[in-house]
Structures are given as structure tokens and as C-alpha cells.
Amino acid sequence: MKDLVILILVILALFLCLMPRDYQINILNKIGIQYIPPHICLILLGGIFFTMATILAQQDYIEKLVECVKASNQIAGAVIKRAYVISDKAIRKMPPLEKVADKNTSRDQIMFNLINALKKNGWKCDEETNNFQQKYIKKKRRIEMTNAPNNKILDIKFVDSKEKLISLVREYINGIDTENVDGFDSTSKKFKQSIHFESIEEYIKDKLDPKSLEYLENSHGDSGYLGALFFELDIIFKDSLISFEYMSIGPCSFFQSIGTLDLNDKYIYYYRNFDEYGSKVFLKQDRKVYDELVKSTVFQYFKDMSKFNLDVSMESLPSNITINDSRLDDEEFLKDCFKVFLDNPKEYSEEKWFYEEEGLNSRFEFENNHYKRSMNTLKKVPQIIKEYEENEGKEKVYDKTLDNEKERILKLIYYHKVNTYI
């Protein structure tokens, strides 16, 4: 029936578009049509009939083309959304130029302002940079009081004691309710709500001497100063046990790390630093079992960090992993961490293993050129569209990775992603 309709439409289109006007009038009059529309109307009508015939004849192809366009729009939308997130993060990390310098600002002051802006946005500085900042503070804050007797010098310092600061932080943290952690005994307690460093800063702010607050404002900014202050006062604040770098398609990288804090009580406190989202304390552990449980804690983080009441921040293994503590410098332990992460949850396990191996293969091919690696990833988009069409929009089913293949992949991860700085 469909073919018959197509044939009739084609015949009508040929008759209306190609036959001479006199011949058309003669035929139409014979079948009882006395009024003949203008010739241009007949030609247009013939074109419509031919278009309808084409649509009917190529219906399957047109439907597939529409589905392909929809899939392309979905993928393009996802790529654009991710690019927007990356760009937004990068832009938010950049300090406003007007807060750093103007045409009258000295070189040292530009450097000082830039360091403050970067610290305020979650950046970490090395010892040399911190030393420069301290020297500049001393130089800048020694203001000669020309109208004061005896030429008195104003020198702003952090006047509160190290012990007082530790006591205030300890007081706030231990005021937060805790609960047991699955897989640990009562010597390890997670906080019912992970504690952001900024909430600690807000608590201690009202309890510090005004001169200390003035010092903090001038040297570290209004917020994000706690870690820097710990370092400055020589409070035992381990930068990290283990840290992760995620390299994106663009020029940006994202970082997170797990570290510890010693507040001179019976506990060691674990915290996570997650790029611009700042640091959160999530676990306290009896000091006497810390050495023997540090591996178990890091392993549980890889297995399911949500059990520590942390939002999930790892969808895939990092691009690079840095070990900063000798107790974690263990190949078999780290491979166990990677394996438990890739195997959980079970419904996405094979997909995780597949993409991890694929990422390693790309890394080997373009090791020294991240741009080429990124462009190679984008070139795979047409293949993704093709697979989407072949699967009729269903989730791709990945082949099960054999145990010996998993061991091979784990070794590659360890030898190509793990760095040790102890």
C-alpha cells in the first residue's frame, strides 16, 4: 500500500511539473475539472507531491537521521556543560586583578597581594613564598608614627598563644557529635557532619585577641587562614598522607588530599582537602591505634568515602597519586585500594575497569603531550554516537575483565600513576 501511494505521488508530480500546459488542460477537462489553476500553482503542487513521495520512500533513513541528531545534541550538551563547569572553576580560582595591583603598586606589594589572593582561593604556597610573605608583613606593618612621641613603631603580630589556638580548635571539633564507622572499632569515630575549616575559623574568631584578628586580616585574609596559621605556629599539621591530581581535557587540574591534624590530645584527626571546596575534618582516631589503622582508613576512603559522611569526590581513579607518608608506601596495599575502588559498586565495575585501561593506553600513546591525549578523547565522540545507535539508546554492556587482566591493569596503575615523596 505504501509503495502504491509513493507511485501515485510520483506520477502526479511528473504530470504537474513536466507536462505542457495545453496537455494538462486537455487531460483535466476530460476528467471533469473545468477550472484550471495558474501554471505556477500546478508546478508548486507537483513539487509538494514529489517531496511527500521522497519522505515516504526514505522514512527509515530520516528517522535514523533524526535520532542521530538528537544523540549528537545530547553529547554536545554534555560536553558544553562540562566545559562550562571547568571554565567556571578556573575563573573562580583567578583573583580579581583590581585587588592585586594598580599602576602605583610596588613589585613587592604586587607579589604580597597576589599571594594573599591565591591563599584566599585555596592555593598552597611553598616555604620560600611563606618566608617572603612574613618578611614583607614585618616590613610593611612597621609604620613610623611621625606625630607620636619618641618615634614609636607599630608592629602588628599574632598575640594569642599557640596553646590557646589549639585549645579553641579542639574545643570546637570535640563539640561535634560522632558515631561509629563500619569496619572500625570504637577507637575510630566519624563526625555526624564533617567539619569545614571555615566553620572552625568562625568559632575561634570571636575568642581571639583583636590584635590577632588584625594580624590575620592583613596576613591571611578574612577566611581560609587556618591551615596557614597552623603552619606558621608550628602546630603539627601534616600537609597530606596521600594526594590526588585529576587532569582534565582542558588546561586545568583538580586536586584533593587526605591529611592529619594533631591537637595535643588523645586523638589524631583526619581531614580532606578538596581543591577550592576547602578542608573538612571527618574522623578522629585514638592516638594509640593510629599507626596500625592509618592504612585501613585510607583503604576505606577508596572503598566508600561516603561512610565517613563525606560527599563522593572520586568518580574515577586520579591521573596522578602522590604518597607523602612511608606507612602508605606499599605496592600491594595501594593495588588493593585501586582494586576495591574499581570493583565498587558492582553494577559499574566492568565499566570502570574498561575506562581505566583505555585511559592508560591513551597515556602510553601520548605520554608527553596532554593536548594530543585530550584531542584523541574528543575524536572518539563519533564512535560513541555510533555505539549509541547500535545499542538503540541502551547502556553499553562491558565484557567481564578476567582476574589476571585486572592484576596487569593494577600494576600499570601503580607504576605509571603513583609517585612517592617522603
Q: Which residue has the cell 505521488?
A: 9
Q: DSSP per residue over 229-293, as a string?
A: HHHHTT--EEEEEEEEEEE-SSS-EEEEEEEEEE-SSSEEEEEEEEGGG-EEEEEEEEHHHHHHH
Containing 196, the helix (H) or strand (E) segment is strand 188-196
Helix (H, G, I), strand (E, B) or coil at 189: strand
For residue 153, the model assigns a pLDDT of 43
d(CA 153, CA 144): 5
For residue 281, the model assigns a pLDDT of 95
Instruction: Please report, in tens digits, the pLDDT of each residue of the chain (422 residues total).
Output: 777 888 888 888 888 888 888 877 887 787 777 777 888 888 888 888 888 888 888 888 888 887 787 777 777 777 777 777 666 666 665 555 545 666 667 777 778 778 777 777 667 777 777 777 777 765 665 443 334 445 444 456 788 998 999 999 999 999 999 999 988 999 999 999 999 998 998 898 889 888 888 888 777 666 677 877 887 787 777 668 999 998 776 556 788 999 999 998 999 999 999 877 788 999 999 999 999 999 999 999 999 999 999 988 888 899 899 999 999 999 999 999 999 999 988 888 888 898 888 888 777 665 656 556 566 666 666 776 676 677 765 555 566 777 888 999 999 999 889 988 76
Helix (H, G, I), strand (E, B) or coil at 56: helix
For residue 43, the model assigns a pLDDT of 85
For residue 351, the model assigns a pLDDT of 85
Distances, alpha carbon 106 to alpha carbons 110, 111, 137, in Å = 6, 9, 14
CB-side exposure of 330: number of CA atoms within 13 Å? 12
Q: Which residue has the cell 569545614?
A: 196
d(CA 147, CA 165): 36
Query: 133: Cβ–Cβ under 8 A, 6 or more apart, which residues?
Result: 112, 115, 116, 125, 219
d(CA 246, CA 251): 11
Query: 297: Cβ–Cβ under 8 A, 6 or more apart, which residues?
Result: 188, 270, 283, 285
For residue 322, which of 389, 273, 280 has the smallest C-alpha distance?
273
Residue 193 · residue 199 · CB < 8 Å: no
For residue 146, the model assigns a pLDDT of 38
d(CA 193, CA 282): 8
CB-side exposure of 263: number of CA atoms within 13 Å? 23
Query: 310: Cβ–Cβ under 8 A, 6 or more apart, which residues?
Result: 194, 272, 280, 282
For residue 282, the model assigns a pLDDT of 96
Residue 268 · residue 284 · CB < 8 Å: yes
